[in-house]
Amino acid sequence: MPKLDKVIFCGTPEFAVPILDSVYATLGSRLAMVITRPDAPAGRGRTLTPSPVKEKADQLGIATAMPATRVELKSIFKSIGPDLIIVVAYGMIFPRSIVNRFFCMNIHGSLLPLYRGASPIHSAILNGDLETGITLIKMNQSMDAGDIIMTDALTVDPNESFDSVHDRLAQLSSTLCRVFIKRFEKSELELTPQSHDHSTYCHKLSPKDCELLPDMTAIELLNRIRAFSPAPGAYVMASNRRIKIIQATVDNNQLRPLIVRPEGRGDMPYAAYCLGNPPLFKN
C-alpha cells in the first residue's frame, strides 16, 4: 500500500475551506503544508487580505506557503516531496514536471467532462441545468482533463441561487475527499479516462457577464440572476445607475424581481424600489 506521510493541500477560495477541514480531520499532522495564493487587496480600502484557505490554515495551525510564481511552487513541492497533492480551486497552473512526478488530485465543481475551466458552478446555473456535481481527477498537463477518480451528482432547484449550490457542492466535496483518502491508502482507486469528445469549457467570468440584457428571455434573465446571487449580483442599468437584482421569479413568461440592490444602497423589496422609480422591466 502507498504511504501517506506527507500531504500538501493547495486551495484559495471559500469553496476549499470545508474540504481543508475534512482533509485535516482525516490526516492530522500528515498534512504537511497548505499552499494558497498570496494575500490580495480587498474591500474599499484595498487592504491586503489573506485568502479564506490561509485564514483556515492559520486557525488549524498548519504551515502555509504563498508562492507568487510557478518556479517558487515547484521548489516547494520538490523540497517537501509529498506523497499526495490535493488541489481545490488553487488558482495557478501546475508545471508538467509536477503532475508527472507526484500524484496530484484535483476536485472540480462539475460533472466532467462538462464545464472544464474557471466557472463551472456559474455555468451550470446560467444554462439552467437541473443536475450538477463534483468530480475528482488525477491531474495531467491539460486543464481538467485527467482521469476520473470518482464523481457524485446533486440536483439543482430551478430557483436555487449560486450561494446555495456552491455550499452544497463544497460539502459534497469534503465527503468525497475523505473517501478518496481512504481508498488511496488502500490502493483501491479506479481511474477512468474522460470522454474528451463530449467535453465543454467555461471561461473566467467578467463584470460584463453579470449584465441583464433586453434581448434575453425571462428564463435566461432568471438564470443569470441566480448565477450571480448574492454576489457580485446581476444588474440592469437605470438612469445611469447599476441596479442589482438579487432575487426574482418568472410568472407567465415575465421576469418579476423580488429583491433588488440599488447602487450605493442595501437590499430592498422590489415593490419598495418601485415606489419612487419606474419599473426595471416592461410587462
| 154-159, Cβ contacts within 8 angstroms, sequence gap of 24 or more | 155/130, 155/131, 156/124, 156/125, 156/129, 156/130, 156/131, 156/132, 158/128, 158/130, 159/222, 159/226, 159/249
Q: What is the DSSP letter of 73?
A: H
What's the confidence (pLDDT) of residue 270? Answer: 96
pTM, entire model:
0.94
Q: How far is CA 121 from CA 117, 161, 209, 249, in A?
A: 10, 10, 14, 20
Q: How far is CA 248 from CA 43, 136, 161, in A?
A: 27, 33, 10
- pLDDT in 10s for each residue of the chain, 283 residues: 577 999 999 999 999 999 999 999 999 999 999 999 998 877 777 788 999 999 999 999 999 999 999 999 999 999 999 999 999 999 999 989 999 999 999 999 999 999 999 999 999 999 999 999 999 999 998 999 999 999 999 999 999 999 999 999 999 999 999 999 999 999 999 999 999 999 999 999 999 999 999 999 999 999 999 999 999 999 999 989 999 999 999 999 999 999 999 999 999 999 999 998 999 987 6
- Closest Cα partner for 97 from 82, 77, 83, 117? 77
Q: Walk me through the domains of the chain, giving residue ranges and CATH numbers.
A: 7-202 (3.40.50.170), 207-273 (3.10.25.10)
Burial class (CB in 10 A: 0-12, 13-18, 19+), 52: middle
What's the confidence (pLDDT) of residue 283? Answer: 65
Using DSSP's 3-state secondary structure scheme, residue 34 falls into strand
What's the confidence (pLDDT) of residue 42? Answer: 75
Please list the residues that pair with 33 across neighbouring strands: 8
Q: Identify whether the C-beta of residue 246 lies closer than 8 Å to the C-beta of residue 260.
A: yes
Specify the residue for cell string 500500500.
1
**31-35/7-11 β-pairing:** parallel
How far is the C-alpha of 278 from the C-alpha of 243, rounded, in Å?
Answer: 12
What's the confidence (pLDDT) of residue 76? Answer: 96
- Closest Cα partner for 278 from 247, 257, 252? 257
What's the confidence (pLDDT) of residue 1? Answer: 59
Q: Identify whether the C-beta of residue 105 lies closer than 8 Å to the C-beta of residue 84.
A: yes
What's the confidence (pLDDT) of residue 44? Answer: 72
Q: Identify whether the C-beta of residue 9 lies closer than 8 Å to the C-beta of residue 34.
A: yes
Instruction: Locate 106 and state its grid cell.
Output: 484535483
